[in-house]
């Protein structure tokens, strides 16, 4: 009986452990060289750290395509198209019930990078996702921490 329980417990723990990790990176040194490169319209998205909503992964969608799922403190990089673009943050599954999906429409000029932050703000009944555009220096400062 004990062996059967252990055989079932180990895969369950592994699933729980890996379910909380996103596809983004927490390694700022991986992102730094990409930030200063020119030639593409890159967007950089950072999810702030914090206790509220820490188990939920946030989908980052650029022009209808998911570019990553970020956990607290994780970053993803995508490439926007010249002209009008749409970025969205959302939480899927049971954790996303009642959580808003903020959207930002922005226009990319050739060879210009854009920087965004995702925050989860606590409210009495529900949590609220906030997606904001920020400056390169502010984004770098948040990503370093």
Range of the domain at 41: 22-144
**44-75: pLDDT as tens digits:** 999 987 655 556 899 999 999 999 999 999 99
Residues in a beta bridge with 90? 59
CATH number at residue 108: 2.60.40
Residue 8 lies in a domain: no
Residue 112: predicted pLDDT: 84
Residue 5 lies in a domain: no
Say how far apart CA 98 and CA 120 lie, in whole Å: 13
Higher-confidence position of 37 and 27: 27
Higher-confidence position of 34 and 62: 62
Domain count, the chain: 1
Asked whether the beta carbons of 45 and 76 are under 8 A apart, the reply is yes
Residue 7 lies in a domain: no
Residues in a beta bridge with 118? 47, 131
Residue 111 lies in a domain: yes
Residue 31 lies in a domain: yes
Residue 17: predicted pLDDT: 41
Asked whether the beta carbons of 76 and 91 are under 8 A apart, the reply is no
Residue 6 lies in a domain: no
Residue 59: predicted pLDDT: 94
Asked whether the beta carbons of 118 and 70 are under 8 A apart, the reply is yes
Residue 3 lies in a domain: no
**82-138: pLDDT as tens digits:** 899 999 999 876 655 667 889 999 998 877 899 999 998 877 777 788 999 999 999
Residue 95 lies in a domain: yes
Burial label, 67 (beta-carbon count in 10 A; 0-12, 13-18, 19+): buried
Q: Can you point out the beta strands (E) in the chain? A: 42-47, 58-62, 65-70, 75-79, 83-90, 103-108, 114-122, 127-134
Using a cut of 0.85, tell me whether the model's pTM lies above it.
no
């Amino acid at each position: 009986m004990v062996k059967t329980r252990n055989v079932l417990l180990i895969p369950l723990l592994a699933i729980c452990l890996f379910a909380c990790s996103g596809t983004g990176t927490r390694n700022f040194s991986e992102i730094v060289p990409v930030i200063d490169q020119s030639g593409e319209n890159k967007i950089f998205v950072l999810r702030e750290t914090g206790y509220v909503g820490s188990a939920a992964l946030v989908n980052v969608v650029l022009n209808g395509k998911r570019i990553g799922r970020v956990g607290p403190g994780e970053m993803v990089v995508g490439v926007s198209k010249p002209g009008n673009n749409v970025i969205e943050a959302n939480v899927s599954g049971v954790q996303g019930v009642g959580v808003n999906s903020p959207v930002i429409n922005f226009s990319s000029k050739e060879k210009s990078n854009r920087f965004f932050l995702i925050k989860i703000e606590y409210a009495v009944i529900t949590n609220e996702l906030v997606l904001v555009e920020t400056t390169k220096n502010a984004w770098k400062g948040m990503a370093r921490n």
